[in-house]
Chains A and B, each alone.
Chain A
């Protein structure tokens, strides 16, 4: 295959030109010996340069194995994986020079100070000594660890260790940074700092691939998300587009008190026949006071992707029936709704 044809093929495959892609994964399969089911079963995707890409899935879905292959520490059974332009199967050493990994567990070198951790890492990656020292100082300062440079890693808090690991990973200026569960076990404040750090890293042009089971986190941080379940990639898209794919789940939520003439049944039936409303779901209204219990209705009107017209019609109808409206809210499907829909629900 010629280079151009190959590039075209890549483009056809995943919508990203291989030359522009930081990561290309094609038909990746990983079977661990003695296990019936493949841990990764025919996964293909690409990550563009400068993108923040998230692999989302439950524990054991196959995301860690996928990242393991991408970072050269898990041997693929079959398929092609290219990271930073290097094939991880034929040139793992070359690929390692272009990637960096921030793992979930704390694996800083405990025999060395934080600063030495950074310098030694850079030396493994053949960064000249002088530059390694300068860069270590600059990164420690940037990540607010300047005053902890001489400390042993054990003396750092969880959030500080996480930042130190990210700083270490950046010492050799990798093209692609892999981050495994960036904020697991961090307190909310540390999580915010790590979030800012990753945003900054990406803003400087580093491609970031992260794995998480926190959907809100993926939605907040990632340009695109791949949903992994049982070794397969079920969907890859922007969080917004994934949400739109479940457009049926857009809903107008109302809390209303039926008027003196029409009872709850009549209101539900009436709203059901309002233009643009596909279905009406009734839920008990929480938060109503005891005296009025049973009089407030919590309704979910399922609409199309754009709820404007049905909302206007419904409010107009409710006014006509002299109903009192207490709450109005438009709810859009979260990544969690999409995830649960794709993976077969919560009770699986």
Chain B
């Protein structure tokens, strides 16, 4: 093979990747357009519940003396992580379940001139984006409700952690959304999503569970735990938390594992 043939081959490959990137951006940009239009209902869905949790747990119960005065600094990162993770996960799951069964709106995307894995990836990216937006909206609301603040540097680190956590949530949502039939969707939310939100170290720091060993094990199996603990380590270092050397690699590892499983599930549903 001559040098020019090699260069031609390289050029073709580069051009193909560039083409795929353009299609990928178009897929994501459609979702951003829709997200922009759905902001009011989307916020009601994702922000109201965390706000009420903050209000009851962080303000009411703390003021009544049932919870310690420093509890808000435990709760805040947990609730932000929960909002991002579940916002991304629920949206992605629901969207895929309906797409592959009733609406078939996914058809047009599956026929986009790009690998199917990229169509799946676009779904994860937009799912994560929803989680991120929800967390970004909830955070100032939480500041106002709890009267706790993060420094700009903490906000920056929190942003990165929340982004990764939303990614894990969206990827898990894709695993669920491609495995679950529409008839099972309510049961799945009851059996999987709700337990996830209560065992994900959102309301308590994971290391303190040492005295409640069985619950600590259950909690360790929950991916959300690593997102909550990473965020807690970043913004409330004074609170006991899992070492960043464990929680951050765990978040990235889960992102990779769920991402691969999700793409596999997506391909299996998309291409029979």
| A residues adjacent to B (C-beta < 8 A) | 32, 68, 71-75, 92-94, 96-97, 99-101, 103, 105, 107-112, 116-117, 120-121, 123-126, 168
Chain A residues near B103: list those with CB within 8 A. Answer: 107, 110
Given A93-B113, A96-B113, A107-B107, CB of A120 within 8 Å of CB of B20: no
Q: How far is the CB of A77 from chain B (nearest CB, A)?
A: 11
Mask for B20-46, Cβ within 8 A of A = 1, else 0?
101100110110011001100000000
Q: Pick the contact of B109: A93, A110, A124 (CB < 8 A).
A: A124
Mask for B107-124, Cβ within 8 A of A = 1, else 0?
111111111100000000
Given A94-B113, A112-B34, A126-B22, CB of A168 within 8 Å of CB of B271: no
A-B contacts, 21 listed (Cβ < 8 Å): A71-B111, A73-B270, A73-B271, A93-B20, A94-B113, A96-B113, A103-B104, A103-B107, A107-B103, A107-B105, A107-B107, A111-B105, A112-B30, A112-B33, A120-B26, A120-B30, A125-B23, A125-B113, A126-B19, A126-B23, A168-B108
A73 and B110: CB pair below 8 A?
Answer: yes
B108 and A68: CB pair below 8 A?
Answer: no
Chain B residues near A99: list those with CB within 8 A. Answer: 111
Taking CB as reference atom, which chain A residue is nearest B114?
A93
A93 and B115: CB pair below 8 A?
Answer: yes
Taking CB as reference atom, which chain A residue is nearest B108?
A121
B272 and A75: CB pair below 8 A?
Answer: yes
Taking CB as reference atom, which chain B residue is nearest A111?
B34
**A305–B79 Cα gap in the complex (Å)?**
82
Chain A residues near B270: list those with CB within 8 A. Answer: 73
Q: How far is the CB of A108 from chain B (nearest CB, A)?
A: 8
Q: Which of A96, A100, A105, A117 has the most CB of B within 10 A?
A: A96
Chain A residues near B34: list those with CB within 8 A. Answer: 111-112
A107 and B111: CB pair below 8 A?
Answer: no
**A257–B271 Cα gap in the complex (Å)?**
64
Q: Give residues of chain B (204-227) contacting chain A, Cβ–Cβ below 8 Å.
A: none
Taking CB as reference atom, which chain B residue is nearest A99?
B111
**A126–B19 Cα gap in the complex (Å)?**
7
Given A73-B270, A120-B26, A125-B23, CB of A96 within 8 Å of CB of B111: yes
Given A68-B272, A75-B271, CB of A101 within 8 Å of CB of B104: no
Chain A residues near B20: list those with CB within 8 A. Answer: 93
Chain A residues near B29: list those with CB within 8 A. Answer: 123
Q: Which of A73, A92, A96, A124 has the most CB of B within 10 A?
A: A124
Chain B residues near A92: list those with CB within 8 A. Answer: 115-116
Contacts beyond the supplied A94-B113, A99-B111: 6 A-B pairs with Cβ under 8 Å: A73-B271, A120-B30, A123-B26, A124-B26, A124-B27, A125-B112
Q: How far is the CB of B39 from chain A (nearest CB, A)?
A: 13
**A107–B109 Cα gap in the complex (Å)?**
11
Chain B residues near A68: list those with CB within 8 A. Answer: 272
Chain B residues near A101: list those with CB within 8 A. Answer: 107, 111
Q: Pick the contact of A110: B26, B105, B116, B272 (CB < 8 A).
A: B105
Q: Pick the contact of A109: B37, B105, B115 (CB < 8 A).
A: B105
Q: How far is the CB of A72 from chain B (nearest CB, A)?
A: 7
Given A120-B26, A124-B27, A126-B19, CB of A97 within 8 Å of CB of B113: yes
Chain A residues near B112: list those with CB within 8 A. Answer: 96, 124-125
Given A32-B272, A111-B34, A111-B37, CB of A126 within 8 Å of CB of B113: yes
Q: How far is the CB of B121 from chain A (nearest CB, A)?
A: 14
